[in-house]
Amino acid sequence: MINCELKLIIDYFFTIHHKNMSETIAKPVIVKELLESLQAKVQEEQQVIVHCCFPASPFLGNLIRIWHSTYLFDNQSDHKSRLIHAENITIYPNWTPVPFMRDFWFTLVFSGLPKDCKSFDLKEVIPEEGGFFVESIKRNSSDIYRVKISESYV
């Protein structure tokens, strides 16, 4: 009885699948202006990846974190790219311990920069001293960067 019901179900799905395969669906036509507009949006939404190195320190007990209010500021316009994701570092208010006498690497992912951006600053905008700041990072074609965070924050 079960085998018979299973065969009926398989036959039913085969019939539906076979019927749908015989139908031809026409490719939709998209207006050229809309395609160009969408392409511009896609290019601007490409993400920027910044690998950051916090240099080894001779002090025990160093802690590090990043705030959501960390941005990439385009040096040629008022544009700022927002922080989307942080890897290997905690977000405020939590802290990440820094290993003793070892460089500490973490990765930040930002929303895209404008197409005509030539250089940008990485800046942690926070209501206290000690925010990260890396000035005049030269733009490259891959939008993947490696920067060193100095111990003398601005």
Tell me how far apart the alpha carbons of residues 43 and 47 are, in angstroms, rounded to a whole number. 9
Q: What confidence score (pLDDT) does residue 22 get? A: 54
Mean residue pLDDT of the chain comes to 82
In a domain, 27, yes or no: no
In a domain, 28, yes or no: no
In a domain, 8, yes or no: no
Which residue shows structure tokens 């025990």? 60
In a domain, 18, yes or no: no
In a domain, 32, yes or no: no
Domain range for 102: 45-148
In a domain, 120, yes or no: yes
Tens digit of pLDDT for each residue in 36-70?
666 655 555 689 999 999 998 888 888 999 999 99
The domain total for the chain is: 1
In a domain, 34, yes or no: no
Q: Could you tell me the pLDDT band of residue 2, with boundaries at 50, 70 and 90?
A: very low
Q: Is the pTM of this model over 0.85?
A: no
Are 55 and 152 in contact by the 8 Å Cβ rule? The answer is: no
Are 83 and 31 in contact by the 8 Å Cβ rule? The answer is: no
In a domain, 5, yes or no: no
Higher pLDDT, 80 or 17: 80
Q: Which two tokens stand for residue 10?
A: 């398989």
